[in-house]
Homo-oligomer: A and B are copies of this chain.
Amino acid sequence: MSLLIRRADVLRVTPSTVETLPAHDILVNGARIAAIEPTGQIDPSQARTVIDADGQIAMPGLINTHAHTPMVLFRGLAEDVNIDRWFNEYIWPLEHNLQAEDVYWGMQLGLAEMIEAGVTTVADHYFYMDRAAAAVEKAGTRALLGWGVFSSSGLDALERTANFAQDYRGAASGRITTIIAPHAPYTCDDEYLTAAGDWARELNLGVHIHAAETKYETEASLKRFGRTPIQTLEKTGILDNRTMIAHACGATPDDITLLSKYDVGIAHCPKTYLKLAMDVTPVIAMRAVGIAVGLGTDGAVSNNTLDIWESLRLMALMQKDRAESPEVMTIAEALTIATRDSAKVVGLGDQIGALEVGKLADIILVDVSGLHHQPLYNLGASLVYSARASDVQTVIVNGDVIMRDRRLLTLDKAEIIANVRASMARLSQRRVEQRIQTYQP
């Protein structure tokens, strides 16, 4: 069951350095990296599969810390509208159409898109997550799954999400981890959040939630409740669990100080923020007080892709923009966020996010011979500012090759597209009065 990747340049990132181990072999035994040695040290005949990665960069699989992957089903259906209309007239009416099998095929479509872009792990927050799990099982990727719930779904629904989280933790040979997923403080009241926090504690799981998405949400919360959404998370005991907070563009300086006292990770999805004019997460201020920040895409109805290379680039560009300084958010720091820190945010900081002996073998091979990388003086700059999803050649998760030379090995593109197309007419209908929820933060 062993795999040998030969002659790769193996990426090594710290917050201040980007280097490679040039022309190294990576030996994978089962799900883990067993050795990384200069080519020639490891006998190729001991491996069942050998991949020649000459001239390619071996790096940790990319991690999407916040997505609603099956929303690829609605890609392009909500454009150029403000955030109120986006939720109330588009997304939540569209999601009324969703059936369990839509999630199964939508999840496969999104996972296939992510595999092609080198994304090996996704933290997904959506509905019918048992069917999402079936898609992950088939795709061979890694996922942290949470079944989203609102107060309006009732406490029964919360119990169902807890049961899902309990039943599916460790599924797909350990590739699936689970989390409790209340939607947001503006759709879950205090009692509901408290109950969600209780479930998380009881099951020893984390919580994945949207909060402080915009400064308007923060202002509205202050007006209605006399506290920020982040303070609500503290008050209801959510933060007593390991918590992943999506967005936090509207976090105040006091919120950041508060968050620094808890075991919190932030999922940062800059393309969505720009597209919906939500401002951006204060990533630099958060990192300055030790809060882990990871990269996400959010759903493809706002993004409109699931491309973490784009998130990485936009994160770096926008932090420079907001700081009015090109010197901040260096290449090494940006790549640290994309790798180790994103792993930390999804609760797998000791397992993935770096290519080291003993870690799980989630490895991508990236071709940097393309003209847009030439001449190659600065690999880090190429990865942050020039690389494209299409540069990813080969994808390995948990020791298994799931894309080789850009050919998907676990999922059937034609089958997925045929199944999605067959449902498009039904899925794209909108009746505003039938929306699943109301946006009124």
Contact = CB atoms under 8 A, between A and B. Distances in A.
B317 A271 contact: yes
A438 interface: no
B388 A275 contact: no
A371 B112 CA distance: 7
Interface residues of A, number: 62
Contacts of A273: 321
B80 A326 contact: yes
Contact of A413 (B75, B317, B320, B371): B371
Interface string A134-171: 00000000000000000000000000000000000000
Contacts of A275: 317, 320, 326, 385
Interface stretch (A58-66, A183-191, A200-208, A372-380): A372-380
Q: How many copies does the complex hold?
A: 2
A321 B274 contact: yes
B385 A388 contact: no
Interface string A262-298: 0000000001011111010000000000000000000
Contact of A320 (B76, B277, B380): B277
Interface stretch (A337-345, A355-363, A420-428): A420-428
**Of residues A76, A82, A304, A378, which shows the largest number of chain B Cβ atoms within 10 Å of its Cβ?**
A76
Contacts of A386: 75-76, 304-305
Nearest to A115: B371
Interface in A171-185: none
Contact of A378 (B77, B373, B389): B77
Contact of A374 (B72, B325, B377): B72
Contacts of A306: 372
B317 A374 contact: no
B75 A374 contact: yes
Contacts of A314: 317
Interface of A: 72-73, 75-77, 79-83, 86, 109, 112-113, 116-117, 271, 273-277, 279, 303-307, 314, 317-318, 320-321, 323-327, 330-331, 371-378, 380-382, 385-386, 388-390, 413, 417, 420-421, 424, 428
26 contacts: A75-B378, A75-B386, A76-B381, A76-B382, A77-B377, A77-B378, A79-B381, A80-B326, A113-B371, A113-B374, A116-B372, A271-B317, A273-B321, A274-B321, A275-B326, A275-B385, A276-B320, A276-B326, A277-B326, A304-B382, A304-B386, A307-B372, A371-B417, A375-B420, A388-B389, A390-B390
